[in-house]
A and B are shown apart, each in its own frame.
Chain A
Amino acid sequence: KNQVEQSPQSLIILEGKNCTLQCNYTVSPFSNLRWYKQDTGRGPVSLTIMTFSENTKSNGRYTATLDADTKQSSLHITASQLSDSASYICVVSGGTSYDKVIFGPGTSLSVIP
């Protein structure tokens, strides 16, 4: 069964600290993996996209890694800010059409002063 799991379910960190969010997937075949940020009550916004051949992709303070062999991805946030408080969703595409896209349940991140 195609699945995307994320850990931890929720996380609280102090402003300025770093954190890493994890994503494990069993989706096959694999097309690409995205990380989205979703503020409370808003729609998700894409942070990064990685294909099979990419290991690392950065977007400002966000760095995503992908290990296609172990089917794991991580999202590292550096020098966290209060505005980073949101849900982070891992999305894996199992084919070329969007009906093959599997969304993870998300990790809820709270950055406190």
Chain B
Amino acid sequence: DGGITQSPKYLFRKEGQNVTLSCEQNLNHDAMYWYRQDPGQGLRLIYYSQIVNDFQKGDIAEGYSVSREKKESFPLTVTSAQKNPTAFYLCASSFYRDSTGELFFGEGSRLTVL
């Protein structure tokens, strides 16, 4: 079945370590996105990519990095520069590059910094 796969579902990290969250989609979507979700707040956009080898910063890109070497993959690295990385991270994709297209979300990755 087509969909978006995120891994790992749970991840624990020590302070000072970088971690990479995986996001793979087989929906043949051009656009992919990373969001951060914190309790009581709306999803916030970290990075997005509308085509391969191109990506744009969202509202809270500091301390994060991404790559888009393949259409199907959009990994997110949470670096040690991210001051408060404990959160639920959601990857999404859309067929259209504009907001008329539906966003399809993965199941999320919960990162906890010890």
Contact = CB atoms under 8 A, between A and B. Distances in A.
Nearest to B90: A43
A105 B40 contact: yes
Nearest to B10: A41
A99 B48 contact: yes
A30 B31 CA distance: 21
Nearest to B4: A43
Contacts of B92: 43
B1 interface: no
A1 B56 CA distance: 22
B100 A32 contact: yes
A49 interface: yes
Interface string B71-114: 00000000000000000001010100111101101111010000
Interface string B35-49: 100001111110010
Name which of B35, B43, B97 has the most chain A CB atoms within 10 A of its CB. B43
Name which of B35, B48, B59, B103 has the most chain A CB atoms within 10 A of its CB. B103
Nearest to A42: B107
Interface stretch (A52-60, A66-74, A89-97): A89-97
B51 to A, nearest CB: 13
Nearest to B47: A99
Interface residues of B, number: 28
Contacts of B48: 98-99
A96 B99 contact: yes
A104 B48 CA distance: 19
Given A32-B100, A96-B99, A99-B48, A43 B105 contact: yes
Interface of A: 4, 9, 31-32, 34, 41-46, 49, 89, 93, 95-106
Given A98-B99, A99-B48, A99-B56, 10 more contacts: A31-B99, A34-B102, A42-B107, A43-B90, A44-B43, A89-B43, A97-B98, A98-B48, A102-B42, A103-B44
The list of the 8 closest CB pairs from A to B, nearest first, reads A43-B105, A103-B42, A93-B99, A96-B98, A103-B43, A105-B42, A46-B102, A44-B105
